[in-house]
Amino acid sequence: MLDNVTLDQLRTFVAIVDEGSFSAAGRKLKRVQSAVSHAMANLEGQLGVKIWDRRTKIPRLTAEGTALLGAARRVLADVAALGQLAHGLVAGIEPCVSLAVDAMLPVRTLVDLCRDFATKFPNVQLRLFTETLSAVSALVLDGTCDLGVVGPAAHTQGLERRYLASALLVPVAARHHPLAKIRGPLSTQVLAEHVNIVFSERGTAKKAPDQGVLSENTWRVADLGTKHALLLGGLGWGNMPEHMVAADLAAGRLVRLRPAAWAEDEWLLSFSIVQRPDVAPGIATRWLLQRLGELCVRDLPARPTAARSKPGRSTAVGKSGTGSGRARRGSPR
């Protein structure tokens, strides 16, 4: 029964509803009214459902017709999407782009990137993963993702790596925490007396070593939301991306600490793009990379750092994955 239903019949059906009458649909489709009526009679016969109530001067949709209208629109939309996808494939636009990002990347950056991508490439599927440290690299290495955004401590052996942007990590504690009440530099001995909340990797894969941990009394969490909540609750101290705690610092909910062992800009976290060297990025992937760079310029103001390459020199890292473009000693989590 349905094998004989044509796209032309469905387009005619939708046109009648949208234009308000059989005659108006005929004018839009450049057909005589009798051809429109014939198409609808055939559609009703093939579906075995009465779509139009013809007892009035202008036929009206029956309840069954109203139910079928939504399905007809979906079919036509899917066919249009199929055509656009095929056109994109011919033009070299890949059908799917997969991206893994470190959880430290600003959420605002990620949200706007996804929104802009969906607008630019509505028929390209975007698969998104947020992970920590080396877990991002692992997704790119095993082919799950085309691209990754990693921090400096991530293992990137076998991947091409290119500097993207930097974010400052700042040590903070809640305003009612004992460390927040001490003015001036804090010795490592004093800091070690309190819980150090550390952002750690998930799973059992090869993990990056700890960096910037000044206390043996550590609580380890696998997401920044939990770490943020524990810090606000006064349950310890730890490093957080400046962009995530700027509002808390301004409102006095969190206080910036001054460990004597670190300089003010000791921990400049560098983000890098990683990808497999044997996979050439397509049109949508290249656009996503460019847009990501633009959004990072907006959301992560550049800061001076000795780790940046000199003018005219590339910050990209070759296939060995050695080097990270990071400032100072690494990445405290």
CATH at 19: 1.10.10.10
CB 257 within 8 A of CB 315: no
CB 121 within 8 A of CB 258: no
Q: What's the CA gap between 65 and 270, in Å, rounded?
A: 59
7 pLDDT band, cuts 50/70/90, is confident
CB 102 within 8 A of CB 149: yes
What is the average pLDDT across 318-322? 36
The verdict on 233 and 248 lying in the same domain is yes
The verdict on 87 and 102 lying in the same domain is no
CB 331 within 8 A of CB 267: yes
In angstroms, the Cα distances linking 206 to 176, 215, 218, 323, 329 are: 37, 23, 20, 18, 20
The verdict on 108 and 20 lying in the same domain is no
Which of residues 75, 91, 107 is at a domain's end? Answer: 91
In angstroms, the Cα distances linking 31 to 23, 144, 232 are: 9, 51, 69
Closest Cα partner for 281 from 295, 270, 271, 292?
Answer: 292
**What was the pLDDT predicted at 315?**
35
The verdict on 52 and 111 lying in the same domain is no
pLDDT in tens, 218-272: 898 888 889 999 999 999 999 999 999 999 999 999 999 999 988 877 788 889 9
User: Does the pLDDT at position 322 exceed 60?
Assistant: no
Task: Please identify which residue in the block is written with the tokens 């949508």.
Answer: 284
User: Does the pLDDT at position 3 exceed 90?
Assistant: no
307 pLDDT band, cuts 50/70/90, is very low
The verdict on 124 and 9 lying in the same domain is no
Q: What's the CA gap between 247 and 101, in Å, rounded?
A: 23
Which of residues 49, 65, 91 is at a domain's end? Answer: 91
Which of residues 91, 111, 137 is at a domain's end? Answer: 91
Identify the DSSP state of 209.
Answer: P
- Angle of helix 63-91 versus helix 7-19 axis, rounded to 10: 120
Between 88 and 29, whose confidence is greater? 29
Closest Cα partner for 102 from 151, 141, 68?
Answer: 151
Report CA 53 to chain centroid distance, whole Å.
49
The verdict on 135 and 230 lying in the same domain is yes
φ/ψ of residue 65, rounded to 5: -65, -40
User: Does the pLDDT at position 295 exceed 90?
Assistant: yes
48 pLDDT band, cuts 50/70/90, is confident
Closest Cα partner for 269 from 208, 311, 314, 203?
Answer: 208
Record the tokens describing residue 231, joined without a space. Answer: 């810090």
The verdict on 192 and 317 lying in the same domain is yes
The verdict on 84 and 114 lying in the same domain is no
**What was the pLDDT predicted at 293?**
94
**What was the pLDDT predicted at 209?**
52
The verdict on 106 and 179 lying in the same domain is yes
pLDDT in tens, 49-103: 898 888 877 888 899 988 899 899 988 888 877 776 676 665 568 889 999 999 8
Q: Residue 329 is part of a domain; what is its CATH number?
A: 3.40.190.290
156 pLDDT band, cuts 50/70/90, is confident
Picking from 117-121, 251-255, 321-325, which range would have the lowest pLDDT averaged per residue?
Answer: 321-325
The verdict on 58 and 107 lying in the same domain is no
330 pLDDT band, cuts 50/70/90, is very low
Query: What is the number of domains present in the chain?
Result: 2
CB 261 within 8 A of CB 211: no
The verdict on 306 and 194 lying in the same domain is yes
What is the average pLDDT across 211-223? 77
List, in order, residues 6 or more apart from 81 with CB less than 8 Å away. Answer: 123
Q: Provide the residue range defining the domain that includes 275.
A: 93-333
Q: Mean pLDDT score of the chain, rounded to an integer?
A: 83
**What was the pLDDT predicted at 231?**
96
The verdict on 318 and 173 lying in the same domain is yes
What is the average pLDDT across 104-133? 92
**% of the chain surpassing 70 pLDDT:** 83
